[in-house]
A = this chain, B = another copy of it.
């Protein structure tokens, strides 16, 4: 019995060592839905998947584990580092028209607490539910993005927060939520007016950026969690896509 236990023990140790020396987290058992979910999430982030309505149910645990674990934060941190390197090389004119555009939801502040109740995107989009959540003004800052916001202001950039949120119903709550989370000192918060209700984010945001450029702003950078934040006209000199595997905004 002892000899057999020792042999099993040795095999187990070998097995564990073999797993630990694996160069990466790619060696999950074949057939696991994880491999599919890794592909699915990569396709979302590379803009290969469009107009998807819900996270595939088989990826609920994958997406939950990703957004609540440390990898999501790490992914954002690396992007913010890249933004920093790009900012280092910008030659500002310093006339007060050097601008950056930042999206709000799941770029500056997080809706993770809301999406926890929506199975991290496996439930379909709930316009009323989201509005009720946003009206509470309880979104938390995404730390790396708050750091970027502060750095950009310190450098002298004008920050334009550009959000698809409805101005009339969510204006006050949004202003207060941003303030409470440390987003102070931005140039402008542009929200969706009645004239743009029902328009796609690309159409609405392109129109707002066009106005900014016409007013003389130079859009050095544009950061969003949706491809619709950073596509269309006047997208900016350089764009950055923050991960978001929970929902798609057309």
Binding site for B on A (CB under 8 A): 1-2, 5-6, 8-9, 12-13, 15-16, 19-20, 22-30, 32, 34-40, 42-43, 45-50, 61-62, 64-66, 69-71, 74-75, 77-79, 82, 238-241, 243
Contact = CB atoms under 8 A, between A and B. Distances in A.
A26 B41 CA distance: 13
Nearest to A239: B47
Given A9-B8, A42-B243, A69 B27 contact: yes
Given A9-B5, A13-B12, A16-B16, A24 B42 contact: no
Contacts of A46: 45-47, 241, 243
Query: Copy number of this protein in the oligomer?
Result: 2
B1 A35 contact: no
A222 to B, nearest CB: 12
Given A25-B27, A37-B24, A71-B38, A240 B48 contact: yes
B78 A43 contact: yes
Give the interface centre of A43, A48, A70, A75 by most chain B CB atoms within 10 Å.
Answer: A48
Given A25-B35, A35-B71, 7 more contacts: A12-B12, A16-B16, A22-B65, A24-B32, A24-B61, A24-B65, A36-B74
A52 to B, nearest CB: 10
B27 A16 contact: no
Contacts of A43: 75, 78-79, 82
Nearest to A21: B61
Contacts of A77: 39
Contacts of A61: 23-24
The residue in A38, A64, A238 that gathers the most chain B C-beta atoms within 10 A of its C-beta is A38
A28 B50 CA distance: 30
A28 B24 contact: yes
Contacts of A62: 23-24, 26
Nearest to A34: B24
A13 B15 CA distance: 11
Contact of A12 (B9, B39, B74): B9
A26 B19 CA distance: 13
Report, nearest first, the 3 A-B pairs whose CB atoms are least far apart: A23-B61, A25-B25, A24-B34
Contacts of A37: 24
